[in-house]
Structure 1
Amino acid sequence: MLGDSHVQALLAARHPDPFSVLGLHPEEDGQMWLRVVWPSVAAIDVLDAKTGKKLVGLNHRDPDGFFEAPIPRRKQRFAYRLKLYDPQGLVFGEVADAYAFGPQLPEAELLALKAGRHPRPYTVLGAHAVVQQGVPGVRFAVWAPTAKRVSVVGDFNQWDGRRHPMRYRHEAGVWEIFVPHVIEGDLYKFEVLSRDGRLLPLKADPYARAAQLRPDNASKVAPMPPVRKLPQGRADANRRDAPISIYEVHAPSWRRLGSGPFPSWDDLAEALPAYVADMGFTHVELLPITEHPYDGSWGYQTLGQYAASARFGSPDGLARFVDACHARGLGVLLDWVPAHFPSDGHGLAQFDGTALYEYGDPREGVHRDWNTLIPNFGRYEVREFLVGSALFWTERYAVDGLRVDAVASMLYRDYSRPSGEWVPNVHGGRENLEAIALLQQVNRVLGTEAPGSVTIAEESTAFPKVSAPTDVGGLGFHYKWNMGWMNDTLAYMREDPVHRRWHHDKMTFGLVYAFNENFVLPISHDEVVHGKGSMIAKMPGDDWQRFANLRAYYGFMWGHPGKKLLFMGQEFAQPDEWHHDAHLPWRRLDDPRHAGVQALVRDLNRVYRTQPALHRLDCEAEGFEWIARDEADTSVLAWVRRDGQGHAVIVACNFTPVPREGYRLGVPPGASAWREVLNTDSSHYGGSNVGNRDAALPVENLPAHGRDLSIVMTLPPLATVYLVAV
């Protein structure tokens, strides 16, 4: 018979080792005793699992739910079942006992987890449907090294932490249990008792693959997605010599689809890939689709690094969406957020009653800008958690890559912190060496385990070698957002054309460093929120000039070295700034001016993709040469793009409303004439139709712009034109 202190500890869910007393255990006299804690039942019979015969009825020793009895004529452990009776004496189940099963995780797996060397921690931690000794159920495992007790609670045990206290595996600080008869779709959380005796808010599973729709926040048992490879050809489409034009999307507000407040993945799969492909983009990038509690964070305050948000339906729908994009020739990029997480009680914050996932010192562990917590990048298990998440999305959903959010905030310990309120690194510097190591590890792992996928850094500083390989000291990203280019050029475009001559360098400075990294030119969601206005709202002048300026700017952007990114709605000049809880104003396409901008973006993508000179050497200095760089007085810019194989495109911009007829432009040798292939002032796009039409512009032996050869052309007002050799 179990001592009273043990019984009371079990019923208070404070026993240090419930597996040592619950289930079958031999006593000193050689008898096998069976003990069960089940508060909601009135009586329990023990059955032989092989024959189904009753062996004994357990004594209801404590009315709070403790049962025990010796098993007659049994000296060894055996397979048994529990027959449960309610207070009316009715049978309501025959079940296996969670405490009849031994340790779940192999020692090697636990040691790898503890050392931060496990390549796929998501295959070990979390909830996994398995069969043990012929019994189906779910294996739960969670990392909580300083907790005094952890129980898994859910629908299957009336959310009662006394029912399934877990086994502590001291090697790795992991708690585990196999719970029979739990099935996929069941809800669960972890009940954690801290080392100082506090019962914490119920915690969602950090490794959950599905969760409830907010405001509910329980984790949901979900199948492990199968390993999926990128389709043939996708790796080539993600290379730096390929055309990459990204359509950035906030899925809930893109377009009203379906009957609910959020589109399902299948709704999106039916509509979004077709539109993006028709527009000529090569990739679609989704703002974070990982589970998050607050819609207004747009997904950037995620708590479910492994769970696709319930807003869009079940996770398998995401796989179908990715397949639909790939079928249209589109790549899929996901925004991934390892830099911070919110402090909601059910999440990672103080997970076991201590600063486990976050830095303990608020000078390291709190993001002032977002009022969020910063992961402890120096802790092996935390880095493993994040690296595993990156691999999970690329390996299990076959996405083409990850755009990593807020990299700048990760790289520097003094990011957005005043002097004296940050902790230097071990060398006394400001760089976060642990975060740097994490980013390098992510990129190495993906390069090895998910070949063909790419990573893109949102990084706004001059940190060196962001897109250089890790073996030469780089961070290992494939691409980096060019935030400096974006800020400079938009500042220029806001100026009235009469003042642009004084700001000409803002349009040229980006070429000073354009090939230091593999750049993406981003006009992202961040540029059209929080009072910044939409793209068309940034443009000066009357309505005609505003639309002409925007078209000219897009022409400049698509002709400039670097991959392209445009946030949804800006392709048709959405008039108001974006808001996450309103759908895009598609009715604006009834206005020819908005439809014209959309037609221009479609044609820019077409020309960008079909003219190798505009993309093949996007990231190489050999692919660019200035023609007219210093004509500040006329606000004219012109350059040559090359593909390294003999093809060239000339891009010429006029950022004043003055048409320049008879403009002599120096041209490279090798062609007898040049022809206009795109003009942002075309009437097709809502422009004034000034330009060079389809006429061949003959090359003359007259010098211009320091060149021996030139052509005479018309530069339309507030316009960009592309010329190709005839």
Structure 2
Amino acid sequence: MTDTRIASPKGILRHGPQLAELPHGALEAVAEGRHGDPFAVLGPHKIAQGLWEVRAMLPAARSASVVSADGATVLQVMERRHPNGFYVARFSSRERPDYRLRVDYGSQLPALLVDPYGFGSVLNDADVRALRDVGSDAPFRVLGAHPRRHEGVEGFAFAVWAPNASRVSVVGDFNGWDGRCHPMRLRHDGGVWELFIPGVEVGQHYKFELLGPNGNLLPLKADPMAFAAQLRPETASILTGTASHDWQDGDWMTRRAEGDPRKKPVSVYEVHLGSWARVPEEENRSLTYREMADKLIPYVEEMGFTHLELLPITEHPFDGSWGYQPTALFAPTSRFGTPQDFLHFVEAAHAAEIGIILDWVPGHFPIDAHGLGEFDGTHLYEHADPRQGFHQDWGTYIYNFGRAEVSAFLVANARFWAERYHLDGLRVDAVASMLYLDYSRKHGEWIPNRYGGNENLESIDFMRRMNETVYSVSPGVMTIAEESTSWPGVSHPTYAGGLGFGFKWNMGWMHDTLHYIQNDPIHRRYHHHDLTFGLLYAFSENFILPISHDEVVHGKGSLFDRMPGDEWQKFANLRAYLGFMWAHPGKKLLFMGCEIGQRKEWNFNSSVDWHLLEQPFHAGVKDLVRDLNVVYRDIPALHERDCEASGFEWLISDDNDTSVIAWLRKGATDGDVVVAISNFTPIPREGYRIGVPHPGFYREVINTDAACYAGSNVGNSGGLHSSDSPSHGRPHSLSLNLPPLATVFLERRGS
């Protein structure tokens, strides 16, 4: 037996049995940040009976000692074995020692540290396996950085999926951003790296440092699961744990889960939080989440909208992307405050009975070096082949939906916003780009699916799983597809072969009707079909009628600016169009600024022009939108059969010459109806007869030409009785005064 000289607890050299030494090269690999199995080297190791060796990597230390857990007794002064700061101490102990590291950094009092490499594994096997379970909450429950009490010690548990990396370290404020300090343990069964670090605190910044498969150092990566992130241009993740909140919205959540959203009023105010309102006297800054809770939420409530849709507020580095190129899908952007501030904003909305819908971007992600691209030195989240993995239009990567961990990550993100932040809906961006492999690609620039088709089968399966998961775990939540093609069954249940979304944006209706309204009235007779064509498919999906941010940017002008004619006619056209939209079957969505007749195109760097409300025309548009929302919510015939063909009936669809259309909206109660008439010419029409199926009094509940909206006040004196004169194949009729460039609603109640 070979004798080896070792250090005793008192520093006296003695002879002992053969010791378990470090494998050749292990010390150098750890000291140089190349070792992929740090727990095999660092921490406490029993090297012989009753003899232990503690090894620590402390690059910034001047000296270090192993001390008792209370810090009172020095067990052994550590020997510096490598100039990079690899320290070793040997001492006797019958049992696994409970110790601390006393470290002298020179510029301050010695620090007493708990050794991260003295702890057992953080994750259990079930957690690691669940990361491949599409629909599980494991990704945000297991991965990322979570405050935890582990083996009796407070700290943060870090975990990241990077199966092809040869070494992963946690770096941050707490270790000088030095990847040699906190290398992580690889769980080979799942490709997950984990480490519990005692003593780190909420608010500290961190990232992951990775070596690729060939040992090459990669750019520092933000945590894909970060719950908070730095304000641009900084890119670090922030230790915060999952957002906790003492929710007070139980009544709202209960009511939300009741009934069928298709039969409820849904009127959405779409907002870009950074430009809804600014503070000019403070360098034109945006409002904070808490300021918006005090200002935006009351405004939405006053205007009668049921929901507030937010352009993406997941953290993103580039303001000009409007949030559609996120790098931290689990973090509310720090532009407006903390995650706790955003929770306060959501709570305020629910207290005002307003639902929050988030624009969600699972279709692509930016190429920023700190993001998901080539995360572990390989194409981990994205397809390797650019014909599948790179979006040419947007210069972004496309997720590899066929990889279970990637789909699980994205579906878990949808769950996260619904469960942890109580959001009421997800509007899924760019669904068409996810459905088609050849989306915006020429011949030879895409790869067919296994059947030779252009359908993205993996993406389709992902969307179905996402919808099934969200609806199962969060009753009453809506998912909404921005889908611009004729793909069948987007808002049909998955069990019926559909994609499973609750609603779909009606992009065809939007394009057709905006094309119509932009024409001079004298030419509208030749485009009448643009008004009526949408009713051929209006009930094939559960539709939302969107006048969104996309319609008021990139040189398209504002909604007001699209209207033809002089000043008076522009406002009259705008009011008539909004009335037509609110009376048309389908839920409603209107982008901020459109409700006041904003004159200029939307600019994400400036506020809505609220000063325009000092002018009667603009105030009139605002008052009209408020009243449209009121009648839409209060009159069942205008919302409860939005998605059913039986709730609609044409009264006049073919009067091209006068550009008049009229239709009936029907409630669930027989005889509960609203007659809607639009006159899209500047010519008032007296005695215009319309056949109706029911006799009785028809109350004028909306007239977009009313004086209170700065119109010319042509109307029907609050309503009129039907006559028994048959017209248009119906036994009764109304003789109406149709105001110029206006839409009128007439309500009849009762059987």
TM-score interval for Structure 1 and Structure 2 normalised by the shorter chain: over 0.9
> Once the 2 structures are TM-superposed, how far is the Cα of residue 4 of structure 1 from its aligned partner?
6.0
SS of 1:27's equivalent in the other structure is strand
> Once the 2 structures are TM-superposed, how far is the Cα of residue 117 of structure 1 from its aligned partner?
6.1
SS of 1:240's equivalent in the other structure is helix
TM-score w.r.t. length of structure 2? 0.94
SS of 1:195's equivalent in the other structure is coil
1:90-101 → structure 2 map (5 Å cutoff): 91-101=109-119
Instruction: Report whether the alignment pairs 1:42 with 2:62.
Output: yes
Unaligned runs of 5+ in 1: none
- Separation of aligned partners in 1, 2:335 and 2:729: 59
Q: Which letter maps to 1:653?
A: S
> Once the 2 structures are TM-superposed, how far is the Cα of residue 114 of structure 1 from its aligned partner?
3.7
Q: Which letter maps to 1:156?
A: F
Instruction: Report whether the alignment pairs 1:660 with 2:678.
Output: no
Q: Which letter maps to 1:178?
A: F
SS of 2:274's equivalent in the other structure is helix
Instruction: Report whether the alignment pairs 1:252 with 2:274.
Output: yes
Residue in 2 that maps onto 1:143: 161
Instruction: Report whether the alignment pairs 1:84 with 2:103.
Output: yes
Residue in 2 that maps onto 1:441: 465
Residue in 2 that maps onto 1:702: 725
What do residues 6-29 of structure 1 show as CA deviations (whole Å, max 9, x unaligned)?
Answer: 221111110131110111112256
> Once the 2 structures are TM-superposed, how far is the Cα of residue 706 of structure 1 from its aligned partner?
2.1
1:181-260 → structure 2 map (5 Å cutoff): 181-226=199-244, 231-236=253-258, 239-257=261-279, 259=282
Residue in 1 that maps onto 2:624: 600
Conserved in 1, the CA contact under 8 Å of 2:425 and 2:479? yes
Conserved in 2, the CA contact under 8 Å of 1:556 and 1:653? yes
TM-score w.r.t. length of structure 1? 0.97
Residue in 2 that maps onto 1:517: 541
Conserved in 1, the CA contact under 8 Å of 2:139 and 2:408? yes
Instruction: Report whether the alignment pairs 1:107 with 2:125.
Output: yes
Residue in 2 that maps onto 1:127: 145
1:29-68 → structure 2 map (5 Å cutoff): 31-49=51-69, 52-68=72-88
Q: Which letter maps to 2:169?
A: S
SS of 2:25's equivalent in the other structure is helix
Residue in 2 that maps onto 1:712: 735
> Once the 2 structures are TM-superposed, how far is the Cα of residue 238 of structure 1 from its aligned partner?
7.0
SS of 2:186's equivalent in the other structure is strand
Q: Which letter maps to 1:241?
A: K
SS of 2:126's equivalent in the other structure is helix
Equivalent residue in structure 2 for 1:650, among 641, 651, 675: 675
Conserved in 2, the CA contact under 8 Å of 1:26 and 1:75? no
Residue in 2 that maps onto 1:416: 440
> Once the 2 structures are TM-superposed, how far is the Cα of residue 68 of structure 1 from its aligned partner?
0.6
Conserved in 2, the CA contact under 8 Å of 1:622 and 1:644? no
Q: Which letter maps to 2:742?
A: A
Conserved in 2, the CA contact under 8 Å of 1:238 and 1:454? no
- Separation of aligned partners in 1, 2:89 and 2:500: 62
1:320-469 → structure 2 map (5 Å cutoff): 320-469=344-493
Conserved in 1, the CA contact under 8 Å of 2:660 and 2:679? yes
Conserved in 1, the CA contact under 8 Å of 2:269 and 2:592? yes
Conserved in 2, the CA contact under 8 Å of 1:540 and 1:546? yes
- Separation of aligned partners in 1, 2:110 and 2:274: 43
Residue in 1 that maps onto 2:505: 481
What do residues 667-713 of structure 1 show as CA deviations (whole Å, max 9, x unaligned)?
Answer: 112x323232211011111111111122x423222222222211111
> Once the 2 structures are TM-superposed, how far is the Cα of residue 547 of structure 1 from its aligned partner?
0.6
SS of 2:286's equivalent in the other structure is coil
- Separation of aligned partners in 2, 1:167 and 1:394: 32
Q: Which letter maps to 1:235?
A: A
- Separation of aligned partners in 1, 2:464 and 2:612: 44
> Once the 2 structures are TM-superposed, how far is the Cα of residue 3 of structure 1 from its aligned partner?
5.5
Q: Which letter maps to 2:731?
A: D
> Once the 2 structures are TM-superposed, how far is the Cα of residue 401 of structure 1 from its aligned partner?
1.0
Q: Which letter maps to 1:81?
A: R
Residue in 2 that maps onto 1:674: 698
SS of 2:180's equivalent in the other structure is coil
Conserved in 1, the CA contact under 8 Å of 2:303 and 2:629? yes
Conserved in 1, the CA contact under 8 Å of 2:134 and 2:411? no
Conserved in 2, the CA contact under 8 Å of 1:50 and 1:79? no
Q: 1:51 to 1:191 in 2, by over 3 A?
A: closer
Q: 1:87 to 1:724 in 2, by over 3 A?
A: closer
Conserved in 2, the CA contact under 8 Å of 1:109 and 1:118? no
Residue in 2 that maps onto 1:278: 302
Q: Which letter maps to 2:692?
A: V
What do residues 151-179 of structure 1 show as CA deviations (whole Å, max 9, x unaligned)?
Answer: 00000100000001100000010000001
Deviating 4+ runs (over 4 angstroms): 227-230, 257-260
Conserved in 2, the CA contact under 8 Å of 1:400 and 1:454? yes
- Separation of aligned partners in 2, 1:273 and 1:634: 42
What do residues 456-482 of structure 1 show as CA deviations (whole Å, max 9, x unaligned)?
Answer: 111111111111111111111111100
Q: Which letter maps to 2:100?
A: R
Q: Which letter maps to 2:175?
A: N
Instruction: Report whether the alignment pairs 1:289 with 2:313.
Output: yes
- Separation of aligned partners in 1, 2:690 and 2:105: 92
- Separation of aligned partners in 1, 2:181 and 2:193: 15
What do residues 522-562 of structure 1 show as CA deviations (whole Å, max 9, x unaligned)?
Answer: 00000000000000100111111111101000000000000
- Separation of aligned partners in 2, 1:422 and 1:204: 31
Percent identical: 54
SS of 1:321's equivalent in the other structure is helix
Residue in 2 that maps onto 1:154: 172
1:520-669 → structure 2 map (5 Å cutoff): 520-646=544-670, 647-669=672-694
Conserved in 1, the CA contact under 8 Å of 2:221 and 2:369? yes
SS of 1:307's equivalent in the other structure is strand
Deviation larger for 102-111 or 2-11: 2-11
- Separation of aligned partners in 2, 1:571 and 1:543: 17
SS of 1:713's equivalent in the other structure is strand
> Once the 2 structures are TM-superposed, how far is the Cα of residue 259 of structure 1 from its aligned partner?
4.4
What do residues 88-118 of structure 1 show as CA deviations (whole Å, max 9, x unaligned)?
Answer: 7x64210100110111100111122145463
Q: 1:78 to 1:117 in 2, by over 3 A?
A: farther
Q: 1:117 to 1:631 in 2, by over 3 A?
A: closer
Q: Which letter maps to 2:102?
A: K
SS of 1:678's equivalent in the other structure is strand
- Separation of aligned partners in 2, 1:414 and 1:390: 26
- Separation of aligned partners in 1, 2:577 and 2:291: 33
SS of 1:354's equivalent in the other structure is coil
Conserved in 2, the CA contact under 8 Å of 1:501 and 1:634? yes
> Once the 2 structures are TM-superposed, how far is the Cα of residue 279 of structure 1 from its aligned partner?
0.5
1:683-702 → structure 2 map (5 Å cutoff): 683-694=707-718, 696-702=719-725
> Once the 2 structures are TM-superposed, how far is the Cα of residue 237 of structure 1 from its aligned partner?
7.7
- Separation of aligned partners in 2, 1:436 and 1:3: 50
- Separation of aligned partners in 1, 2:639 and 2:343: 30
Unaligned runs of 5+ in 2: 1-20
Conserved in 2, the CA contact under 8 Å of 1:248 and 1:285? yes
Deviation larger for 193-202 or 525-534: 193-202
- Separation of aligned partners in 1, 2:550 and 2:229: 28
> Once the 2 structures are TM-superposed, how far is the Cα of residue 588 of structure 1 from its aligned partner?
0.4
- Separation of aligned partners in 2, 1:570 and 1:552: 13
